[in-house]
Amino acid sequence: MIQYYKFQGRMVAQVDGMEEAQWVHLCPPFTENSIEEYAERFNIPIDFIQDSLDIDERSRYEIEEEGKLILINTPTINQSLKENEAIYVTVPIGIITIDNTVITVTQQENPVIDRILNYRFRNFVPSDPSLFILLVFEQNVLWFLECLKRLNLKRNLIEQELYDSSRNEELRQLLKIEKSLVYFVNSLSANDLLMMKMKRTDFLRIREKEPHEDLFEDIIIDNGQALEMSNVYTNILSGTMEAYASIVSNNLNSFIHRLTVITIILMVPTLVASFYGMNLEYLPFSKSRYAFVLLLGISVILGFLLILFLGKNNKTK
The pLDDT value recorded for residue 317 is 54
pLDDT tens by residue, 88-116:
999 999 999 988 789 999 988 888 988 88
Cα four-point dihedral sign 151, 156, 161, 165:
positive
Low-confidence ranges of the chain (pLDDT < 70): 81, 120-127, 163-167, 279-282, 285-288, 313-317
CATH code of 112's domain: 3.30.460.20
Residue 60 main-chain phi, psi, to 5 deg: -170, 175
174 and 79 both lie in a single domain: yes
142 and 198 both lie in a single domain: yes
The pLDDT value recorded for residue 238 is 87
Q: Tell me how many domains the chain contains.
A: 2
The pLDDT value recorded for residue 110 is 87
80 and 164 both lie in a single domain: yes
Nearest of 199, 186, 182 to residue 70 by alpha carbon: 199
CA dihedral 274, 277, 283, 284 (to 10 degrees): 60
165 and 284 both lie in a single domain: no
**Residue that finishes a domain, picked among 249, 265, 295:** 249
236 and 290 both lie in a single domain: no
Whole-prediction pTM: 0.80
245 and 294 both lie in a single domain: no
Nearest of 277, 173, 183, 161 to residue 230 by alpha carbon: 183
Bridge partners, residue 98, by sequence: 101
CATH code of 309's domain: 1.20.58
298 and 222 both lie in a single domain: no
Residues sharing a CB contact under 8 Å with residue 264, sequence separation 6 or more, in sequence order: 306, 310
What DSSP state is assigned to residue 20?
T
Whole-number Å distance between alpha carbons of 100 and 1: 21
157 and 37 both lie in a single domain: yes
Q: Are 233 and 174 in contact (CB under 8 A)?
A: no
193 and 63 both lie in a single domain: yes
Q: Are 219 and 138 in contact (CB under 8 A)?
A: yes
107 and 217 both lie in a single domain: yes
184 and 273 both lie in a single domain: no
**Residue that finishes a domain, picked among 249, 265, 293:** 249
**Residue that finishes a domain, picked among 229, 249, 269:** 249
17 and 122 both lie in a single domain: yes
Bridge partners, residue 71, by sequence: 60, 94
pLDDT tens by residue, 229-259:
999 999 998 888 887 777 777 777 888 888 8
Whole-number Å distance between alpha carbons of 48 and 98: 12
Domain region containing 122: 2-249
